[in-house]
Amino acid sequence: MNKIQAATLVALLFCSLHPVKAQTKEEKFNPLRSGIPSLTIAPDARGGAMGDIGAATDPDIFSQYWNPAKYAFAYSKAGAGFSFTPWLAKLVDDINLSYLTGYYKIGDNDNLAIGSSLRYFSLGLIQLTGEDAMVYNETRPYEMAFDASVALKFTETYSQSVAFRYIFSDLGSGMREDGMSPASAVAVDVAGYFNNYLMLGSSECLLGLGYNISNIGNKVSYDGGNTNVFLPTNLRIGASLLYPMDDYNTLSFNADLNKYLIPTPPDLEGVDDKPAAMQPYYDTSPIAGIFQSFSDAPGGMKEELQEIMWSVGAEYAYDRKFFVRGGYFHESPNKGNRQYFSLGTGFKLTSFQLDVAYLISTVPSNPLDQTLRFSLSFDMDGLRGLLR
């Protein structure tokens, strides 16, 4: 009975990130499954308002999640930010993601920057019941991750970064007697960022290109090593174009592509010995899984292309103090069926900025519909100016 409760928790979290769709004979619902899926939740309101975009947008305080290499090109010496996202608010009222991040540029030439973040995902209060439907225990499952990054500017237009992350997930703190145990992992991110000015007509535009390979790490297990699952290793590639309309108004166009670098589960339809058929999948190492992920889909290249998620978004800024954003995120119906519009706004004063984002699902029965994100960030250069 405790194991059923644990399975319910995992299923709730997985379904929030991969809404289930009706399956037809011609189209098979075969999403990629990973452990600790909360690592893939976009934490901040700016990126969330543009359809979950951030690989190549101009640097901001929340670049640690999207692409920490952007910190080497940050406009300020240092910054810190906090974001809060109520999760599955249409279903429950106590699941949420809290995210704290910051960066600091070292030295006078600003070629080196360090960043860090702490995320805490709470699944709220869970009551554990017995076969008699009586509550005998309560637990508060959670997942958390702490990371630190170093970004170095190699040229005037290109920087690279590496981030190290410790991950901890406790989904069964009240179920130790049934073999449930916390899961932990260490992982690294490797990222790069390019930006340069180019002329479009009489306007000097800023072109940005970026990539981030995140969560390259060991497998995790909730049952003492009997079953091991992959981390949500992800490849993100993005492009951005910032267009100055005049001295006060700017408009940016942005796009990201995402692909999970984990193996696709085999097609078990018609297979009698399913555990034996799944064993090679479970035995695959994380590094081998990265290379295997580009060519192992049961449906061939057509299914491989379905594993690519894409998003587009735009941001209008007035005097870099008022922002309006919008975007769209698309995932194949056979790989999760997350499809939604997003919009948001932001207000910046001398030393701090407040951003809000709102998600509008375009598919029915999506528990993420009407999700709100709130972000508050502090510019340390602006704060020093106020204190002078």
Q: What is the CATH number of the domain that holds 184?
A: 2.40.160.40
In whole numbers, what is the pLDDT of the chain averaged over residues? Answer: 86
In the numeric block, which tokens belong to residue 226? 């009997």
Q: Which of 9, 85, 21, 82 is nearest to 52 (CA)?
A: 85
Which of 18-27, 145-154, 334-343, 359-368 has the weakest average pLDDT? 18-27
Of 245 and 298, the one with more pLDDT: 245
Q: Which of 149, 282, 129 is nearest to 220 (CA)?
A: 282
Res. 22 pLDDT band, cuts 50 70 90 = very low
Residue 188: its pLDDT value, please? 97
What is the average pLDDT across 345-373? 88
Res. 80 pLDDT band, cuts 50 70 90 = very high
Residue 300 pLDDT greater than 70, yes or no: yes
pTM for this model (two decimals): 0.88
Res. 26 pLDDT band, cuts 50 70 90 = very low
Rounded Cα distance between 231 and 36, Å, is 7
Residue 171 pLDDT greater than 60, yes or no: yes
Residue 247 backbone phi and psi in degrees, to 5: -65, -20
Across 18-32, 147-161, 216-230, 356-370, the highest mean pLDDT is recorded for 147-161
Per the CB < 8 A criterion, the answer to whether 314 and 254 are in contact is: yes
Residue 173 pLDDT greater than 80, yes or no: no
Residue 383: its pLDDT value, please? 60
Res. 87 pLDDT band, cuts 50 70 90 = confident
Q: How many domains does the chain have?
A: 1
Residue 380: its pLDDT value, please? 81
Q: Which of 197, 165, 201 is nearest to 184 (CA)?
A: 165
Residue 135: its pLDDT value, please? 61
Residue 117: its pLDDT value, please? 97
User: Which residues are CB-neighbours of 91 under 8 A, at least 6 positions away?
Assistant: 367
Residue 177 pLDDT greater than 60, yes or no: no
Rounded Cα distance between 187 and 169, Å, is 14
Residue 367: its pLDDT value, please? 75
Rounded Cα distance between 229 and 167, Å, is 14
Q: Which domain holds residue 322?
A: 2-387
Rounded Cα distance between 286 and 219, Å, is 7
Residue 72: its pLDDT value, please? 95
> How many CB atoms are located within 10 Å of the residue 262 CB?
27
Q: How many residues does the chain have?
A: 388
Of 178 and 105, the one with more pLDDT: 105
Residue 25 pLDDT greater than 90, yes or no: no
Which of 54-68, 84-98, 187-201, 319-333 has the weakest average pLDDT? 84-98
Residue 301 pLDDT greater than 50, yes or no: yes
Work out the burial of residue 182: count CB atoms within 10 Å of its CB; fewer than 13 is exposed, 13-18 middle, 19 or more buried.
middle
> How many CB atoms are located within 10 Å of the residue 1 CB?
12
Of 172 and 313, the one with more pLDDT: 313
